[in-house]
Amino acid sequence: MSTQNLKIITALWGQNYSLNDVKKLPVDIVFSDRNIPGIKTIPIDMSYKGTWKKMTLFDSRLNLGECLFLDLDIILQGDINDIISYYNQHKIKSKVMLAHVHWFDNEPMRKNKSTYISCNVNSGVFAFNNNDCNHIYEELIKHKSKLEMLFEGTDKWFYHKHKDWYNFFPDYMIQHKIHNYSNMDKSKAIIISENGNANGRNKI
C-alpha cells in the first residue's frame, strides 16, 4: 500500500514477532533478518542492539523518500490515510514526526535531568523523509557503542540529546491501549500502541 508517494515500512527480527504480525499491517517494505514472501524485504543491520536497528532506516543510501514506519506492536484502529495526510501537511524538512507519550504524566519526565531514563518520545510510529534524515544515521554510526551503552533505547536518545530532530503527531491520533493519563477519547485514535515497555521504562 503506497499512499500519496509515501512508503509504509516496518521491521521484523528475532522471535518476538512473526509474519502474521507483519500481515496485519498495510506495509510496502519490511526491514528484516529473513526473507518474507510477497512483500519487499530489505535486510536490516543486525549488528545494532535492539531498537537501534530501526535507526539504520535513516541511511539516505536506501533512497526511500517519504516513509511511515509502524512497529509490529501497534493496532491500526482508524484510517492510516489520516495520519499520512497530517504528516504531509505538517512535515518539517529534516525532522521526524513521532508519537508523543501523552499517556503518562510528562511533568516528572521534565524534572528528571540527572539521567537518560525519562522520555516522552515513542518511535512505534514515525514518519520521515529518508533523503533528508541522513544526519541521524551519521550520528548513529559515529557514536554507535556509546549510544547502545548509555541509552535504554532510541527514543531516549532523541528525547535527551536531539529535541531539534523531531516533532509529534497530534496526541489523539496515537494512543496507548492501557494507559491514558490525559484522559483521551480512545475511539478517536487511529493507532493504538501496545508498547510493552510503556509501563515503567518511559514513565519516570
Partner 1 sequence: MGEIKFNYDLGLFGDTLNRVILREYPHRTKDFINSFLSNQINCKIWLIDELVNILERKKDHFIVKRVTVLGSWYGNIIVPLLIDNIPTLQEIDLIDMDEDALAISRKFLGHYDFKINYMHKDINFEEFEDHYTNVVINTSCEHMVPMDSITFHHDDQVIYALQSNDMFNIREHVNCVKNETELATQANLSTTYYMSHKKLMGEKGMPYNRFMVIGKRNDNL
Does the footprint of partner 1 cover residue 197 (CB under 8 A)? no
Sheet with 166-168, strands from edge to edge, namely 40-43, 29-32, 7-12, 66-70, 121-129, 96-100, 166-168
Q: Does 111 bind partner 1 (CB under 8 A)?
A: yes
As a whole number of angstroms, the distance between CA 122 and CA 98 comes to 6
Residue 198 DSSP label = G
One character per residue 91-110, x = contact with partner 1 (rule: CB under 8 A): -----------------x--
Closest C-alpha among 197, 16, 11 to residue 119: 197
Report the C-alpha gap between 40 and 31 in whole angstroms: 9
CA-closest candidate to residue 5, choices 75, 84, 121 = 84
**One character per residue 127-166, x = contact with partner 1 (rule: CB under 8 A):** ----------------x--x--xx----------x-----
Smallest distance, partner 1 to C-beta of residue 51, A = 16
Exactly one of 89, 114, 183, 187 binds partner 1 (CB under 8 A); which one?
Answer: 114
Q: Does 113 bind partner 1 (CB under 8 A)?
A: yes
The minimum distance between CB 161 and partner 1, in angstroms, equals 7
Write out the three cell numbers for 73. 506492536
Q: Given the complex with partner 1, which of 80 and 119 has the nearer CB atom?
A: 119
Pairing of strands 7-12, 29-32: parallel
Residues that bind partner 1 (CB under 8 A): 108, 111, 113-115, 117, 143, 146, 149-150, 161
